[in-house]
């Protein structure tokens, strides 16, 4: 058979080709926020697919936050925002098992190096903001929303001071989850004075560019928070003892036959 045929594309790949093409154009900057993408008919002709495949592609791009569909007007390139990333990750982790404990483990891994990098890379604007937030914490006498907000923003500002965008986004995600969790942690109300002192030590180490001191102060702070959290959760349940197996009775030896 001399005639050759192009490979048949799977149906699920038809809309994905459009998604990948439009996504590449957006990330490369050739399509900018506010730009209107071609209409369904044009895209269907360009990619040689059905309009149903185009609609599926547009739906997928909108779900990713890359396109904004305006009824009667068309589809437009959306302005990319870290808020969308943070919100999506926060929703994904919202139902994580043992969330408070998991958050503390993640904080220990993430925030100690953040404190170190913040001490190395911080600028005067970061110090000014950290000092402002610390003073806002000191002005509170109870575990109010204002205290929790200033506390959370302090940690986020440390991440911003690193100059690392990835750490900034990851920190914001953790803080978004922490903010909602700690609203209900009334047991932390007795820890306000200690928390302010811990944050002051972190701030002073960052201010004098003491990387080891900032990391050590953050590690100590998080270790204390984890201990308080464990105490609020109560002691771990002690498993019930497993009864020893009952030995089977040993049969008496049979009498010897004459």
pLDDT > 90: percent of the chain: 31
pLDDT attached to residue 126: 97
- Cα–Cα distance between 256 and 132 in angstroms, integer? 97
CATH: 3.20.20.70, 3.10.180.10, 3.50.30.50, 1.20.120.530. Which one for 84-233? 1.20.120.530
pLDDT attached to residue 203: 97
pLDDT attached to residue 90: 66
3-state DSSP assignment of residue 142: coil
CA 186 to chain centre: 24
- Cα–Cα distance between 109 and 171 in angstroms, integer? 11
The pLDDT of 148-175, averaged and rounded, is: 91
Per-residue pLDDT at 102 exceeds 50: yes
pLDDT attached to residue 246: 53
pLDDT attached to residue 176: 78
Q: pLDDT, tens digit, for every residue of 34-59?
A: 999 888 899 888 888 889 999 999 99
Q: pLDDT, tens digit, for every residue of 215-234?
A: 999 999 999 888 877 776 65
Per-residue pLDDT at 204 exceeds 60: yes
- Fold (topology level) of 12-77: Arc Repressor Mutant, subunit A (1.10.10)
Taking each helix axis from N to C terminus, what angle separates 99-121 and 165-182, rounded to the nearest 10 degrees?
A: 140
pLDDT tier at 124 (50, 70, 90 boundaries)? very high
pLDDT attached to residue 1: 42
Where are the domains positioned within the chain? 12-77, 84-233
Q: Tell me how far CA of residue 54 lies from CA of 41, 71, 97, in angstroms.
A: 9, 16, 38
The pLDDT of 184-196, averaged and rounded, is: 68
3-state DSSP assignment of residue 75: strand
pLDDT attached to residue 115: 97
The pLDDT of 14-33, averaged and rounded, is: 86
């Amino acid at each position: 058979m001399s005639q050759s045929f192009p490979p048949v594309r799977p149906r699920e790949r038809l809309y994905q080709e459009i998604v990948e093409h439009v996504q590449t154009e957006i990330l490369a900057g050739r399509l900018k926020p506010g730009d209107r993408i071609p209409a369904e008919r044009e895209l269907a002709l360009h990619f040689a697919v059905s309009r149903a495949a185009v609609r599926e592609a547009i739906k997928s791009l909108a779900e990713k936050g890359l396109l904004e569909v305006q009824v009667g007007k068309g589809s437009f390139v959306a302005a990319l925002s870290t808020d969308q990333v943070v919100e999506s990750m926060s929703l994904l982790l919202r139902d994580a098992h043992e969330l408070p404990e998991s958050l503390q483990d993640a904080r220990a891994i993430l925030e100690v190096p953040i404190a170190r990098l913040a001490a190395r890379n911080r600028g005067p604007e970061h110090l000014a903001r950290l000092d402002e937030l610390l003073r806002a914490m000191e002005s509170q006498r109870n575990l109010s929303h204002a205290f929790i907000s200033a506390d959370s923003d302090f940690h986020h500002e440390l991440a911003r001071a690193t100059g690392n965008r990835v750490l900034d986004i990851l920190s914001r995600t953790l803080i978004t989850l922490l903010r909602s969790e700690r609203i209900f942690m009334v047991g932390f109300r007795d820890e306000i004075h200690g928390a302010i002192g811990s944050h002051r030590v972190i701030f002073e180490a960052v201010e004098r560019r003491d990387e080891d001191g900032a990391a050590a102060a953050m590690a100590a702070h998080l270790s204390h928070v984890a201990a308080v959290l464990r105490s609020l959760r109560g002691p771990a349940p002690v498993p019930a003892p497993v009864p020893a197996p009952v030995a089977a009775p040993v049969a008496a030896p049979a009498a010897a036959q004459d």
